[in-house]
Amino acid sequence: MKENFRISFISIRSNLLRTTLTVLIIAFGIMALVGILTTIDSLKRSVNSSFSAMGANSFSIRSRAYNVQIGNHRERTKNFSRVSYSEAKRFKDEYKIPAAVSVSIGASGNATIKYESEKTNPNVSVRGVDENYLITAGYEISKGRNFTDADIRSGENAVVVGAEVVTSLFKQGQDPIDKMITISNGKYRIIGVLKAKGASMIGSGDRLCIIPVTNVRQYFSYPNMSFNITVLPNEGVGMSEAMGEAENLFRVIRGLEPLDATDFYIVKSDSIAELMISSLSSITIAATLIGIITLLGAAIGLMNIMLVAVAERTQEIGIRKAIGANNKTIQQQFLFEAVLVGQIGGMVGIVLGMVVGNLIPLIAGGVFVIPWAWMIMGFLLCLIVGVVSGIYPAMKASRLDPIESLRFE
């Protein structure tokens, strides 16, 4: 067996161009498979990380457009497909379960923030919030303070900024607290800085400015504004109890009768992550099938090359048989060659797949993943490819007649 391995290495080295092409065929198949699956794993981890920061125990209330079809007549329910500020405020005031309840709304997703001669790129999110938003969204203050109830009631021109906004505007290391910045032509005083969260696949949590929700109503108003209600029950409060109370209260606020259909959603924060991960699972299955089909093509190519090798080395096989090599030895030699080429291709493909698979997530702010499971699967698949591709050429080589092989030209 040791001698067969040595001969296999010599044969591979003597046909370097053919071996390299075969290795590349297999490597690209494995690279595609491992690369796609590594990217998906990184996405899953990033999604989990992003939503875990919000707290798995929180839920949101969202309105929905709801139409009733009766024959040819379409009728809307009594409520608009939005949550008004008065509804959100009333819910916050009347919700009796021990919990942090926040009301917020998006003001802009592409704002440019200015301080003296410095300004950010036009990619800063501006959000109107209340004093409970930082708790329900999983943010912490690193410097300064949060909004007070008085700030929210008065619609103060105050702002709490993300860490990335600070680094963009205060490049000389100045203390940002009490500095005046410009947001959409309005002057706002910085009262706090958020602790850095880092980037994730769903965006940067540090490229953010939050201002009082009442200020947004006054200066960023637009038609049909729909406010978000987020509830984070206190520790020890059952989620089912908290969600049930929220649904009953909001039905009353929306003016729904007992027989009316609920025209809003109550969505747990982790259910969004589960939905995204479920979608990625479908992509994982599709990527695996694509990778296996690619490897099937590589297996056919490897088998073809091994058959060519048997034809080219027919005389060598005859000589080996003439000096005592039996059919099993010849068969092992060619099978070892196929498996060896497959494993070399697998190693190259796994390394490339791991690099390519992590490249896109890292650029987008994801996490680096070492896909141990996919690496092991890649080696096993390459072993199967090598055995399947080499078994027939090896058997054909072992059955050659030594006399006819010696006379082969």
pLDDT at 331 over 90: no
Residue 58 lies in a domain: no
144 and 211 share one domain: yes
**Res. 68: pLDDT tops 50:** no
pLDDT tens-digit readout, 225-282: 899 999 999 988 888 899 999 999 999 998 888 888 888 888 876 655 665 666 667 7
Whether residue 9 is contained in a domain is answered as yes
Residue bearing tokens 């009733």: 68
**CB within 8 Å of 69: residues ≥ 6 apart:** 75
At 105 the pLDDT is 94
Task: Indicate the residue among 215, 237, 262 that finishes a domain.
Answer: 262
144: left (phi over 0), alpha (psi -120 to 50) or beta: left
Residue 148: predicted pLDDT: 94
Report the range of poorest mean pLDDT among 50-64, 105-119, 383-397.
50-64
What is residue 21's predicted lDDT score, i.e. its pLDDT? Answer: 80
Residues 285 and 235 in one domain: no
135-164 pLDDT tens trace: 988 889 999 999 999 999 999 999 999 999
Residues 47 and 153 in one domain: no
Question: Are 131 and 28 members of one domain?
Answer: no
pLDDT digits (tens, 9 = 90+) for 343-357: 888 888 888 888 888
Q: Please, which residues have CB within 8 angstroms of residue 166's CB and are 6 or more apart in sequence? A: 176, 193
Q: Are residues 342 and 375 in the same domain?
A: yes
- The answer to whether residues 393 and 306 touch, using CB atoms and an 8 Å cutoff, is yes
Any domain includes 191:
yes
Closest CA to 335 of 375, 407, 292, 383: 383
> Tell me, what's the pLDDT at 337?
82
* Cβ contact 400:318 at 8 Å: yes
Q: Which residues pair with 193 in a beta bridge?
A: 143, 161
User: Is the domain of 320 the same as that of 387?
Assistant: yes
Is pLDDT above 70 for 407?
Answer: no
Higher local confidence (pLDDT), 264 or 40:
264
- Whether 248 and 326 map to the same domain: the answer is no
Q: Are 203 and 301 in a shared domain? A: no
Answer yes or no: is pLDDT of 76 > 60: no
CA 364-270-61 angle, 5° bins? 110
Is the pLDDT higher at 407 or at 230? 230
Range of the domain at 377: 2-51+274-407
| 161 lies in some domain | yes
pLDDT in tens, 91-138: 999 999 999 999 999 998 889 999 988 999 998 999 999 999 999 888
* CA angle 249–250–255, rounded 5-degree value: 105
Last residue of a domain, one of 262, 296, 324: 262
Say whether both 89 and 46 belong to one domain: no
SS3 label, residue 212 = strand
Confidence of residue 201 (pLDDT cuts 50, 70, 90): very low
Among 262, 288, 320, give the residue marking a domain's end.
Answer: 262
What pLDDT, on the 0 to 100 scale, is given for residue 209?
95
Is 110 in the same domain as 194? yes
Examine the domain organization and report whether 97 and 184 are in the same domain.
yes
pLDDT, tens digit, for every residue of 290-319? 777 877 877 887 788 788 878 877 887 788
Number of domains in the chain: 2
Stronger pLDDT, 47 or 68, i.e. the higher one: 47
Instruction: Tell whether 304 is covered by a domain.
Output: yes
**Alpha carbon 307 to its chain's center:** 43
pLDDT band at residue 66, thresholds of 50, 70 and 90? very low
**In terms of Cα–Cα distance, which of 87, 109, 88 is closest to 230?**
88
For 20, 26, 152, 220, the CA distances from 35, given in Å and listed in that order, are 21, 14, 48, 44
Residue 290's pLDDT is what?
77
Please enumerate in sequence order all residues whose Cβ is within 8 A of that of 379, keeping only pairs 6 or more positions apart, or say none: 343, 346, 347, 350
Percent of the chain with pLDDT over 90: 31
Q: Do residues 363 and 240 share a domain?
A: no
Nearby residues of 321 by Cβ (< 8 Å), 6 or more positions away: 330, 400, 402, 405
pLDDT value of position 33: 80
